[in-house]
Amino acid sequence: MKHVGVLALQGDVREHATTLRKLGVEVHEVRRPTDLNGIEGLVIPGGESTTISHLLVSSGLRDELKSAFADGLPVFGTCAGLIVLSASILDGRTDQWSFGVLDVTVKRNGYGRQTASFEAPVDVDGIGPVPGVFIRAPRITEVGAVETLASYDHGDGSHPVLIRQVQAWGCSFHPELTADVRVHELFVNSL
Ligand code: GLN
């Protein structure tokens, strides 16, 4: 059985845990550095990236995770989790920081505010269409050394929405909010 952590500081932790359990994974909720013991990968949920970045510092997890990622711990961030992993943030708060393990620039709320949230099919390499739930989603506006596994055109040009850089993965939508487990399965199968 694989052991996967879900960062449980803020956001839709339960939905990720449910999806991972459907895949036969043993889920560890991560709130403090000792919770990282024994995990083979980590999921950073959607929620509010400014809050998550603050709580990562106050929990003592930021520095532990920086070295864990440098040592190769696989990580998958959705929506706010993608923002927290990215190299550069547009429209972030001045005190907001990020891990920089995904070589991309993301624009917060880059598909519009809450009222502009939407659902649309996203065609993922090797899987086919999955339901894409975009809620105040970040838009990936620039990519460096990442592999793009899915792009989506919201009527204003195609942008990556699921990316991978070695063992770090990010997506701008919320696969955990649908019954479709295949995006999580890609990550879990890579562990
Ligand atoms: N816009 C939010 C942020 O900046 C992310 C939204 C989400 O995770 N659904 O953190």
Q: Is 154 a catalytic residue?
A: no
* C-alpha Rg value of the chain to the nearest Å: 15
CATH of the domain at 52: 3.40.50.880
Share the mean pLDDT of the chain: 96
CA–CA distance, 191 with 188 (Å, rounded to integer): 5
Q: Does the CB atom of residue 109 touch ligand 1 within 6 A? A: yes
**22-to-19, 111, 180 alpha-carbon distances in Å:** 5, 30, 10
- The percentage of residues in the chain with a pLDDT greater than 70, rounded to a whole number, is 100
- The catalytic position among 79, 159, 171, 184 is 79
- The closest-lying atom of ligand 1 relative to the alpha carbon of residue 45 is 8
Q: What is the reported pLDDT for 102?
A: 98
Question: pLDDT of 24-68, one tens digit each?
Answer: 999 999 999 999 999 999 999 999 999 999 999 999 999 999 999
Cα separation, 98 vs 176, whole angstroms: 22
Which range has the worst mean pLDDT, 113-122, 148-157, 166-175?
Answer: 113-122
Tell me which residue range forms the domain holding 125: 3-189
What is the domain count for the chain? 1
Check residue 12 and report its DSSP letter.
Answer: S
64 is a catalytic site residue: no
Ligand 1 atom, smallest distance to 51 CA: 10
* Alpha carbon of 170 to ligand 1 centroid (Å): 13
Q: In what order do the strands lie in the sheet with 86-90?
A: 86-90, 102-107, 139-143
